[in-house]
Structure 1
Amino acid sequence: MASVTLALTACIDSDDTAPEVSAVDVKLIAINDFHGNLEAGPITLTIPDPSDPSKTIKIPVGGIEYLASWVKSLKAKNPNNVVVSAGDLIGASPMISALYHDEPTIEAMSALGLDFNAVGNHEFDDGSEELLRMQNGGCHADKVGCADGKFDGAKFKFLAANVQHSATGKTLFPAYQIKEFNGVKVGFIGMTLKGTKDVVTPSGVAGLDFKDEVETANKLVPELQKQGVETIVVLLHEGGFPADKKYNECNGISGPIVNIVNKLDKAIDVVVSGHTHQPYNCRINDKLVTSAYQYGGMVTDIDLTIDPKTRNVIKMSANNLAVTRDVPKDTVQTSLVEKFLKLVSPLKDRVVGSIAGPLTKTVTAGGEMLLGRVMADALLDATAGPNNGASQIAFMNPGGLRTELAPADASGKVTYGQLFAVQPFGNTLVTMTLTGEQIDKVLEQQWNAGVQKVMQVSTGFSYVWDKSKPDGSKVDLASIKLNGVAIDPKASYRVTVNNFMATGGDGYLEFVNGKDILGGPLDVDTLEKYVSKNPLLAIPNTDRISVLN
């Protein structure tokens, strides 16, 4: 049955002499999009200024030592608790976790008391076999990792209701799990976005099918109900975009999560979401819908009151809490962080060069970022020579830039760890030949079904797009120029991208048709070389992409 918010009333047997049956209170503690951010790094959250609510301030948040303390304090408030994650627990992680194949994050989350993690798209970055190793344990084939000589795998459960083996139709991980509290069962369905194949390197999702989120969840409702479950929680790695950054509100939310939740079965009560890295606290279609920001900077405290007779939720509420650093550190997590920091610090703290100022991810009207321009220029620089691919143009997908790059001190120095945080995927460069027509086609593929993914472009390349035009017709071919000269639709050009893009990642499908393919170095090594050869690297402020209307 649908969840409704009602004043809590006691449930009385028809026999007036029978004792009251108390309602059952259950606490859900939720995170999403942690991405291996174990350290208390430069993650901030904008909150109202305590001294002047009309203003806002930024506060440092996150770090597994503080997140664990926050979770522990919430668990202490109600023994009927469950800790859940809505995906991207691992993948695109900083060095402290990534260098050891994200085993440190799995260890940390097991120690935190995580119960369930719905797989997200980044869980598939290294393929399904590696993801199964995260669950089941065992050392990686390259022998890097297993810092203590072994890796036991996760103590929590991965869930993947809509991820099936193409050959058998069986799910990669269990579709759901059930937990019982004082005789009342609560079901947890875990899913990733159905478009995971579009945002992961094809090798990472080979042999897998990703099913529709709504159809998957709704089919499971009767199965859960047959087992006595009426309180149902969906952990979904898909999300939305609120109109503002008021993290405990839901003003003007848009995006895939809205359409999905509006179609979910009325028996589903709560949807813990993620993927978009946005904080929100919503009521959609009589369901509680939440998201807790990113990188462990926030935790969602969800309280459910359940009628033990009907097993339905009769009251529910949520509160997004900033994971501030004014609480004691969790000592278990401190030991884990210190162990892995000691192992990675010599590489992480190595100074590789300097930059003139912050390279931000703030997006211009045309869709460019300062950091994106620099990365595209680095790709071009690495592949422009006749012996390196003779590249003329480089493109960088915006999602491949994980964090901003700011000087580590007043001298402008930059460390390898900072560069790795920007480029943690281990992608390699690919140079190919495309015609002018193909370049136009791939530029049009930056807009698909209302989703905008504007590639960052290298110096000398420019074009104009019109936001009023429909998808597929936004770019004027005549406006596409290389070094001020309009490209020839029939002429051939050498173009560099990363291997994720080259295989159609992010929907840039025309790259798959490139000719004369030549492989190149790792993306992070490319960025390191570019920064090191350009002391106090200048900030590229000239717009390369223009937009009309």
Structure 2
Amino acid sequence: MKKNLRILPILLSLIMIFMLIPQRAYLEEKEKSIIILFTHDMHDHLYPFDVEEDGVIKTLGGYARLNSTINKEREKAPNLLLVDGGDFSMGTLFQTIFASHSPGIRLMGKMGYDVVTFGNHEFDFRADGLAYSLKAAKDSGEFLPQIVASNISFPLDDNGQLTPALTELKNSMEYYGVEDYTVIERNGIKIGIFGLMGKEAASNAPMSEVEFTDPIQAARDTVQELKNEEKVDLIICLSHSGTWEDKSKSEDEILAKEVPDIDIIISGHTHTTLIEPIIVGNTIIASSGRYGENLGVLNLVNDEEKWRVKDYRLEPIEEHLALDPEIAETIEYYKEIVQEEYLDRFNMVFDEVVAYTPFNFTSYGVLGKDHDEDILGNLISDSYIYAVKEAEGEDYEPIAASVVPTGTIRGSFIKGYITVSDVFNVSSLGIGPDKVSGYPLISVYLTGKELKTVAEVDASIAPIMSVAQLYTSGLNFTFNPNRLIFNKVTDVYLQKEDGSREEVRDDELYRVVAGLYSAQMLSIVGDKSFGLLSIVPKTKEGLPITDYEAQIIYDEGHEIKEWLAIAEYLKSFDKENGVPQVPLYYSQKQGRKIVDDNPNLFARLKNPNKVTLVAYSVVLFIIALIILLIGIIIKKKKKVHAK
């Protein structure tokens, strides 16, 4: 009896264990989970970069440290998913070998990315540039991530044929294996992943040659196929569309509302850092910031009703993290190629010091947020004029103004030594007809009236479209933000090199220098202003420009690139201990753009232009009409009362 009593607790324990095992298994089967690691807007920031935050300089990012963090997450969850939301290229010197060696996508392959999508900057080297990049990646024989892009179409020319460049791109995309979507199984979960280019992002790829179909409709069609044909459990959209504080412009939030069957949106393009995900209905929107400064970690569980967030965090890629040796070695390999294939032609060296700045310029993170003059904008616009002067020598024709939009500035300088690499990062966009990285400078002519319109573009369009804020050299103006749109500028004049003031004459032609992309964008302000503002860049003879590339400025046979103009200008400063020093002149504003925030009614209404006079006339007509109608109603009431 005693023996049986001793055995009883053991039997009860065994029964409890056996009862728990199936229940635990049932729970595991019931609750599926997956971990998704994500990045976006990496922009070829293979090396770490410095930023200034609240007076403190931090070193962030770098693929070698990023990969160490990815591997740590993989140790905890070997079946995780690693994805990227586009713009993995264009932003540093490594982009210069995009077409020939495709370093970005190949490094992402080495880091084990499963799926990525295109951003608008993958098209900066035009259709054939992207084609060559995809081919170079595929020909490497290395492991590469799947690329998904669901709303790209290839328009035919007037003869019903693809252009040679589009034929090249279409063939290369097929060769690489680019698809609308892909299906991956992890942890017993069937996952459908598709890529999408947003409308605003598509508008920033003017030389892509492809057409981007409506993203909402493309998403609906793809989601339908993933649900009905592929029978997936989880749908992820790698969306290069972005989110904004203004909900009416926040494309990925709109996408989530319009296509509610998307479970996860990895949201790129706007460089947004979401400390917490945005939840729209049952859709989870995640963003991790730019340049690989964070690794996004999203842990999802499914309770058979919907996917929900179990854990969401952004792992900062900071200086104390270990470098992955294989990735670090690969980056050095690509750096040597950049030097040989790109920098040698300009007699520049990757880490060459071109100047020292004793102060911080405006941090890139806040650049353009204030509608005001900016010291970095002043430096860049001055550099354009300097570079053209040096290139033209005795044949130099005076430049009235140079123009730099905020949207073309991609970085900044912090206190300390400035290298060639730093300069390129500040002005890294685009490519010229020479097929060499970097937008070239061009010379155009505008009438005095159009120069005044340039000032009005800044004053009136920039609040609607922040990337259109302009920084100028030579063109000074004052505006009142309280005045009626398209009539905010109250004073415009040209400041000559000797500091004297010159009035702008409406009918005179003035020479203006800008980057190739910027000059082309100035010509479309008519569309952005509903036809009320007009800028038509012209030749010296006053004829409208039809071929902007014919206006490129050259120096000793090569295009003057925007970044090269800045580098040469920095090198021209007075030296201290053999190093050019950025003058303290650039540490403060110079009165080139004055914001007169006067709320006074007289200040708001005085000196109306033609646009404003028309608006006033319309308002007065409406008021008069209302008064007339009120009068008619009162008379009728009086007649009724009299009867």
TM-score by length of structure 2 reads 0.69
Partner residue of 2:195?
A: 190
Contact persistence 1:45–1:297 (CA under 8 A): no
Pick from 159, 162, 165 the counterpart of residue 148 of structure 2. Answer: 159
SS at match of 1:457: strand
**What is the one-letter code of the residue matched to 1:304?**
L
Contact persistence 1:428–1:523 (CA under 8 A): yes
Deviation at 1:321, TM superposition (A): 1.7
CA-to-aligned-CA distance 1:78-120 (integer Å, 9 cap, x gap) = 233211111110012x224535656222222111111122211
- Does 1:381 find its partner at 2:390? no
Deviation at 1:435, TM superposition (A): 1.1
TM-score by length of structure 1 reads 0.80
**What is the one-letter code of the residue matched to 1:329?**
L
Partner residue of 2:279?
A: 284
Contact persistence 2:66–2:292 (CA under 8 A): yes
SS at match of 1:131: helix
The verdict on how the C-alpha distance between 1:342 and 1:429 changes in structure 2, with shifts beyond 3 A counting, is: closer
Partner residue of 2:551?
A: 518
Deviation at 1:339, TM superposition (A): 2.5
Determine the C-alpha separation between the residues in 2 that align with 1:351 and 1:128: 35
Pick from 514, 530, 533 the counterpart of residue 569 of structure 2. Answer: 530
Partner residue of 2:636?
A: none
Contact persistence 2:201–2:269 (CA under 8 A): no
SS at match of 2:192: strand
Pick from 508, 525, 541 the counterpart of residue 491 of structure 1. Answer: 508
Superposition pairs of residues 16-31 of structure 1, within 5 angstroms: 21-31=29-39
Partner residue of 1:11?
A: none
SS at match of 1:42: strand
SS at match of 1:114: coil
Larger % of strand: which? 1
Deviation at 1:326, TM superposition (A): 2.9
Deviation at 1:407, TM superposition (A): 4.9
SS at match of 1:458: strand
Identity %: 20
**What is the one-letter code of the residue matched to 2:43?**
H
Deviation at 1:32, TM superposition (A): 0.9
Partner residue of 1:437?
A: 449
- Does 1:42 find its partner at 2:50? yes
Superposition pairs of residues 535-546 of structure 1, within 5 angstroms: 535=574, 536-538=581-583, 539-540=585-586, 541=588, 542-546=590-594
Pick from 208, 215, 219 the counterpart of residue 221 of structure 2. Answer: 219
Determine the C-alpha separation between the residues in 2 that align with 1:156 and 1:440: 49
The verdict on how the C-alpha distance between 1:188 and 1:261 changes in structure 2, with shifts beyond 3 A counting, is: same
Deviation at 1:495, TM superposition (A): 0.7
**What is the one-letter code of the residue matched to 1:40?**
P
Determine the C-alpha separation between the residues in 2 that align with 1:221 and 1:135: 26
SS at match of 2:277: strand
Pick from 232, 236, 240 the counterpart of residue 233 of structure 1. Answer: 236
CA-to-aligned-CA distance 1:229-251 (integer Å, 9 cap, x gap) = 24211111222356xxxxxxxxx
Pick from 263, 266, 269 the counterpart of residue 272 of structure 1. Answer: 266
Superposition pairs of residues 96-135 of structure 1, within 5 angstroms: 96-99=94-97, 101=99, 103-135=102-134
Contact persistence 1:368–1:454 (CA under 8 A): no
CA-to-aligned-CA distance 1:403-437 (integer Å, 9 cap, x gap) = 1123544xxxx322221222223110111111123
The verdict on how the C-alpha distance between 1:514 and 1:318 changes in structure 2, with shifts beyond 3 A counting, is: farther
- Does 1:400 find its partner at 2:389? no
Determine the C-alpha separation between the residues in 1 that align with 2:141 and 2:523: 34
Contact persistence 2:65–2:322 (CA under 8 A): yes
**What is the one-letter code of the residue matched to 1:106?**
I
Contact persistence 2:404–2:470 (CA under 8 A): yes
Determine the C-alpha separation between the residues in 1 that align with 2:143 and 2:475: 47
Larger-Rg structure: 2
Determine the C-alpha separation between the residues in 1 that align with 2:484 and 2:242: 24
Kindly report the root-mean-square deviation, in angstroms, between the aligned alpha carbons of the 2 structures: 3.3
Partner residue of 2:529?
A: none
User: What are structure 2's unaligned runs of at least 5 residues?
Assistant: 1-21, 340-347, 430-437, 496-500, 527-533, 541-549, 554-559, 575-580, 598-643
RCO higher in 1 or 2 (8 Å CA, sep ≥ 6)?
Answer: 1
Larger % of helix: which? 2
Deviation at 1:58, TM superposition (A): 6.3
Pick from 490, 493, 505 the counterpart of residue 481 of structure 1. Answer: 493
Determine the C-alpha separation between the residues in 1 that align with 2:140 and 2:454: 42
User: What are structure 1's unaligned runs of at least 5 residues?
Assistant: 1-14, 47-55, 140-149, 243-251
Partner residue of 1:502?
A: 519
Pick from 356, 369, 372 the counterpart of residue 367 of structure 1. Answer: 372
CA-to-aligned-CA distance 1:452-473 (integer Å, 9 cap, x gap) = 23444333311233434565x1
The verdict on how the C-alpha distance between 1:389 and 1:429 changes in structure 2, with shifts beyond 3 A counting, is: farther
Contact persistence 1:297–1:322 (CA under 8 A): yes
CA-to-aligned-CA distance 1:462-488 (integer Å, 9 cap, x gap) = 1233434565x1542x52211233422
**What is the one-letter code of the residue matched to 1:352?**
V
Determine the C-alpha separation between the residues in 2 that align with 1:480 and 1:152: 59
Determine the C-alpha separation between the residues in 1 that align with 2:482 and 2:242: 25
**What is the one-letter code of the residue matched to 2:539?**
K
The verdict on how the C-alpha distance between 1:182 and 1:406 changes in structure 2, with shifts beyond 3 A counting, is: closer
Deviation at 1:36, TM superposition (A): 0.7
Contact persistence 1:137–1:153 (CA under 8 A): no
**What is the one-letter code of the residue matched to 1:458?**
T
Contact persistence 2:44–2:95 (CA under 8 A): yes
Deviation at 1:496, TM superposition (A): 0.7
Contact persistence 2:147–2:179 (CA under 8 A): yes
The verdict on how the C-alpha distance between 1:100 and 1:187 changes in structure 2, with shifts beyond 3 A counting, is: closer
Determine the C-alpha separation between the residues in 1 that align with 2:97 and 2:441: 20
SS at match of 2:76: coil
Larger mean CA deviation between 155-164 and 167-176 belongs to: 167-176
The verdict on how the C-alpha distance between 1:110 and 1:262 changes in structure 2, with shifts beyond 3 A counting, is: closer
Determine the C-alpha separation between the residues in 1 that align with 2:36 and 2:420: 38
The verdict on how the C-alpha distance between 1:364 and 1:158 changes in structure 2, with shifts beyond 3 A counting, is: closer
**What is the one-letter code of the residue matched to 1:209?**
E
Partner residue of 1:295?
A: 291
Contact persistence 2:351–2:419 (CA under 8 A): yes
SS at match of 2:193: strand
The verdict on how the C-alpha distance between 1:506 and 1:195 changes in structure 2, with shifts beyond 3 A counting, is: farther
Larger mean CA deviation between 164-173 and 102-111 belongs to: 164-173
Deviation at 1:380, TM superposition (A): 1.8
The verdict on how the C-alpha distance between 1:240 and 1:368 changes in structure 2, with shifts beyond 3 A counting, is: farther
SS at match of 2:37: strand
Determine the C-alpha separation between the residues in 1 that align with 2:51 and 2:61: 7
The verdict on how the C-alpha distance between 1:77 and 1:349 changes in structure 2, with shifts beyond 3 A counting, is: same
Partner residue of 1:145?
A: none
Contact persistence 1:118–1:159 (CA under 8 A): yes
Determine the C-alpha separation between the residues in 1 that align with 2:250 and 2:451: 29
CA-to-aligned-CA distance 1:298-347 (integer Å, 9 cap, x gap) = 0110112235x77x525554212212233332121121123234555781
The verdict on how the C-alpha distance between 1:194 and 1:257 changes in structure 2, with shifts beyond 3 A counting, is: closer
Determine the C-alpha separation between the residues in 2 that align with 1:391 and 1:223: 57
Partner residue of 1:352?
A: 354
Determine the C-alpha separation between the residues in 2 that align with 1:129 and 1:197: 17
- Does 1:452 find its partner at 2:466? yes
The verdict on how the C-alpha distance between 1:160 and 1:448 changes in structure 2, with shifts beyond 3 A counting, is: farther
Determine the C-alpha separation between the residues in 1 that align with 2:48 and 2:215: 34
Larger mean CA deviation between 294-303 and 514-523 belongs to: 514-523
